[in-house]
Amino acid sequence: MKKMLTAVAVLLAGTTLASAEGELQLFNWGDYTSPELLAKFEAETGIKVTVTDYDSNDTALAKIEAGGGGYDLVVPSANYVPIYVEKGLIQKLDLSKLSNHGNIAPEWMDVTWDPGRTFTIPWQWGSTGIAVNSDAYSGDINTSAIFLDPPPELVGKVNVAPEMNDILSLALMYVGGEACTEDTEVLKKARDVLVAAKPSWLSMDYGMTEKLAANDVVASTYWNGAVFRARLKNDKVKYGYPKEGFPLWMDSVALLSDAKNVEEAYKFLDFIMVPENAAMVSAFARYANGISGSDAFMPEDMKDAPEILIPDEFKSAGHFLPTCSAKAQEYYTAIWTELQK
């Protein structure tokens, strides 16, 4: 997911993007699309891709529901795909136009959020965990207590990524609950923990990769690939897997129902399912993908990276987030609104 806000390719809200043969409009998470991949695609097809960034699933969904964006492809997380389908915002794929559809790894083909991969194509997947600078704190980092009950060394130095579903899910798991619960007692426990912890935080912000690398922030809830990128610049940055439970996610590419550049979109979807190209997606943002055969083309440092390979002792703690019910989402929003005050 994931997910670092940049100013690159952001267009003014309400602007209608041009549609024409040989063009493609991709609506994606910030700092998540490989420029080398786009250059290769344009060289091979003559199709120019314009990328517009967003910083959260909710931002993307709201913009697309409002209409007028002119986007062709969007990259929602797994728990948001059913929402797009239910609202009729994305269209069923014509698999006859996707000769590389069989390259989707078996474990990512018949997924709960899109059985048979009839609406989406895998982009990248990963986890939401804890980044900590080991110079600032040498204790256990495999716990959500890092941000929900910060040790003295980290008080006032912790960032919390403002991604509602991830943070509330981490809090719910920390107090013994499950993501998307409607149990008001458990929700109150999570709410109380979050509200009590907030005065110990430094910020609630995106864009932590550079800040972690520069020691501007020494701890943060964040996404594994982004933390990996920070570690490549500063080897004191470590990634923790909360033993109380942590979210797993997969972002996938979907064709919008009102897409104008449909044939160009199909060419791009087929292109990213070529193993070598899927590896380019991963090599840039540093997350795993869902395409068989891409491992052979991956950078060597990704093959044994601790941010990519979940330790056996924490595998059972990782959970793909479900799509919340309307009632659960209402509770989430109320807690999140209070937390923003």
**Residue with structure tokens 């014509």?**
94
Could you list the residue range(s) of the whole structural domain that residue 331 is in?
126-247+306-340
315 and 197, same structural domain?
Answer: yes
Domain tally, the chain: 2
**Rounded to an integer, what distance in angstroms lies between the CA atom of residue 263 and that of residue 277?**
19
Q: What is the pLDDT of residues 241-265, one digit of tens each?
A: 999 999 999 999 999 999 999 999 9
- In this structure, the answer to whether residues 102 and 148 fall within a common structural domain is no
Question: Domain for residue 73, yes or no?
Answer: yes
Cα–Cα distance, 71 to 64 (Å, whole number): 8
Same-domain check for residues 79 and 65:
yes
Q: Are residues 226 and 311 in the same domain?
A: yes
Please check whether residue 2 lies inside any domain of the structure. Answer: no
121 and 131, same domain (yes or no): no
Domain membership flag for residue 94: yes
Say what the pLDDT of residue 260 is: 97
Residue 68: its pLDDT value, please?
84
If we measure between CA atoms, which residue out of 119, 31, 75 comes closest to residue 249? 75
- Please report where in the chains the tokens 């109320």 appear, as a residue: 334
Q: Report pLDDT for 123.
A: 98
Distance CA 83, CA 100 (A): 26
Q: Is residue 93 part of a domain?
A: yes
Q: Which two tokens stand for residue 162?
A: 């403002």
Q: 202 with 318, same domain? A: yes
Q: CA-to-CA distance for 220 and 242, rounded, in angstroms?
A: 12
What's the CA gap between 150 and 106, in Å, rounded? Answer: 40
Is 255 in the same domain as 111?
Answer: yes
Residue 268 belongs to a domain: yes
Model pLDDT, residue 1: 53
Is residue 150 within 8 A of residue 223, CB to CB? The reply is no
Q: What burial class does residue 42 get, using C-beta atoms within 10 Å of its C-beta: 0-12 exposed, 13-18 middle, 19+ buried? A: middle
Give me the CATH number covering residue 190.
3.40.190.10
pLDDT at 5: 41
Residues 130 and 215 in one domain: yes
Residue 4 lies in a domain: no
C-alpha dist (Å) from residue 156 to 135, 210, 259: 16, 19, 45
Are 123 and 281 in contact by the 8 Å Cβ rule? The answer is yes
Tokens 């981490």 appear where?
Answer: 170
Whether residues 310 and 298 share a domain: the answer is no
Q: Where do the H-state alpha helices sit in the chain?
A: 35-45, 57-66, 81-86, 145-148, 164-174, 184-197, 208-213, 224-233, 262-271, 275-285, 312-315, 326-340
- The predicted-structure confidence for 20-75, as pLDDT tens digits, reads as follows 459 999 999 999 999 999 999 999 999 999 999 999 999 999 999 999 899 999 99
Given a cut of 70, the residues of the chain with pLDDT beneath it are 1-21
142 shares its domain with 237: yes
State the helix-helix crossing angle for 164-174 and 326-340, rounded to 10 degrees.
100
On whether both 195 and 313 belong to a single domain, the answer is yes
> Please, what is the Cα angle at 58 between 56 and 63, to 5 degrees?
100
Other Cβ atoms within 10 Å of 85 Cβ, number: 19
> What residues have CB less than 8 Å from 38, skipping those under 6 apart?
49, 51
In a domain? residue 43: yes
- Please check whether residues 224 and 136 belong to one and the same domain: yes
The verdict on residue 6 lying in a domain is no
